[in-house]
Amino acid sequence: MKFLACTDMHENREALKALVKRASESDIDFVVCMGDISSFGNGLRTVLKAFSDLEKTFYVVPGNHEEGRDFEGIVKDFPHCINLHLKAASIKEYVFLGYGGGGFTMKDANFRKIARQWYGKFNGKKIVLLTHQPPFGTKLDRLGDRHVGNVDFHDFILRIKPKLAISGHLHETVGEMDTLGETKLINPGWDGMVIELN
């Protein structure tokens, strides 16, 4: 299984054009995006249309730039786009779990609530976690001399042990990779990364 992962385009048309070109020219199965595809909602439909026109499934969670908007309703307007926020998608032998939004919240009661459901339902499965904000205490959430990621994501990863956790939000850590317990962590940035899972 091969897919393109991207995040934080902020309606940048050059980045969008390059990502769409890369997706169309590679043998990927689908695209995943960790949010902030718009600038506070501006350009959201343009980005969704560009990916929908590829006719490859585009799984997306909202970033903090999409919060407070009718993200679910807008995504539904595009046939190949799926809002994965608070949802799970079974893709081949993997389960992709999505949770979007957040900025610099270190704790998230809503995430803890859905995480309890996910523990019972998906424990022991091959999991890929898609979040906008990175987990706490890794190379992906380092901002200057401190960590600004989410502690609840960190704890969830250590407990359920996804094969992969992909996030964005911090432009300063684009391209960074790390591990947390047994889980590989990636911030693919707006240039995107092609990822292959066996």
Domain range list for the chain:
2-196
Take residue 49 and report the two structure tokens written for it: 């249309």
Architecture of 2-196 per CATH? 4-Layer Sandwich (3.60)
**146-189, pLDDT tens digit by residue?**
999 999 999 999 999 999 999 999 998 999 999 999 999 999 99
Identify the pLDDT of residue 102. 84
What is the pLDDT, as a whole number, of residue 110?
Answer: 96
The model's pLDDT over 68-126, given as tens digits with 9 standing for 90+, comes to 778 999 999 999 999 999 999 999 999 999 999 987 889 999 999 999 999 989 988 99
* Strand order across the beta sheet in which 193-196 lies: 81-83, 58-60, 30-33, 2-6, 193-196
- Position 123 scores a pLDDT of 82
Give percent of the chain above pLDDT 90. Answer: 91
Q: b/e map of 143-179 (b: 16 or more CB within 10 Å)?
A: eeeebbbbebbbbbbeebebebbbbbbbeebeebebe
Q: Would the pTM of this model clear 0.85, i.e. be above it?
A: yes
Q: In which order are the strands placed within the sheet that holds 87-91?
A: 87-91, 94-99, 126-131, 164-166, 183-186, 177-180
Distance from the Cα of residue 85 to its chain's centroid: 9
Residues near 125 by beta carbon (within 8 Å), at least 6 away in sequence: 94, 95
The answer to whether 101 and 90 are in contact (CB under 8 A) is no
Mean pLDDT of 44-56: 96
